Structure 1
Amino acid sequence: MNTKAVYAACLFAALNICTLSARAEADVTHQTYTYGTHLDIQKVLSMKQDASPACGIVNARMTYLDSQGKTRVLDYSKFADGCNEGN
């Protein structure tokens, strides 16, 4: 096999992975938390928040599986992790 064929195969594989990732993200349901929102959380997959060097309110995002096994994303506001230092 020549190098051009190997490079073409690698490029094709990379593009397929990107396409599958985009399709998977399209199936994810996004929701913004409001007081009283019913949450059906079976398993938390990841938690992220905006970077903040000081104490204050930041935007956060939790990705989780519900009881049906569907991936969901919840956007919410919280105190930055820096607020917990010294307590």
Structure 2
Amino acid sequence: MKRFVAGLAALLVTASVFAAEPASDTRVIHDKTGFFVHLDIARQLSSSDTYGQCGIVPAQLRYLDNQNREHVLDYKVQAIGCPSEN
């Protein structure tokens, strides 16, 4: 009887742990920036609009790869909205 109760308790604990974790497909992967970064972009979801900003500003690219996983890439970009630029 004790083995049955211990087995049932272990089963309930294991089931609650798996239920609490989100599915691996719903996790967002944060990519590292740097030189020669290979991006597997199947579809672009969104990107930052830097119009009207001046100087080097942070930007973000959200995309899906070929395995339909969502990625986020944070990087810096030279904005083109400075009034003093030609």
TM-score band by shorter chain is: 0.5 to 0.7
1:8 maps to none
Structure number with higher helix proportion: 1
2:14 maps to none
TM superposition outliers: structure 1 runs of 4+ over 6 Å? none
CA contact (8 A) 1:63 1:72 kept: yes
**Percent of pairs with identical residues:** 39
Could you tell me how far apart the structure 2 residues matched to 1:48 and 1:81 are? 13
Runs of 5+ consecutive residues of structure 1 not aligned to the other structure: 1-22
Q: Which has the larger radius of gyration?
A: 2
CA contact (8 A) 1:49 1:59 kept: no
Runs of 5+ consecutive residues of structure 2 not aligned to the other structure: 1-22
The TM-score normalised by the length of structure 1 is 0.57
AA at the equivalent of 1:45: L
Number of aligned residue pairs: give it. Answer: 64
Q: CA RMSD in A?
A: 3.4
The TM-score normalised by the length of structure 2 is 0.58
1:38 maps to 38
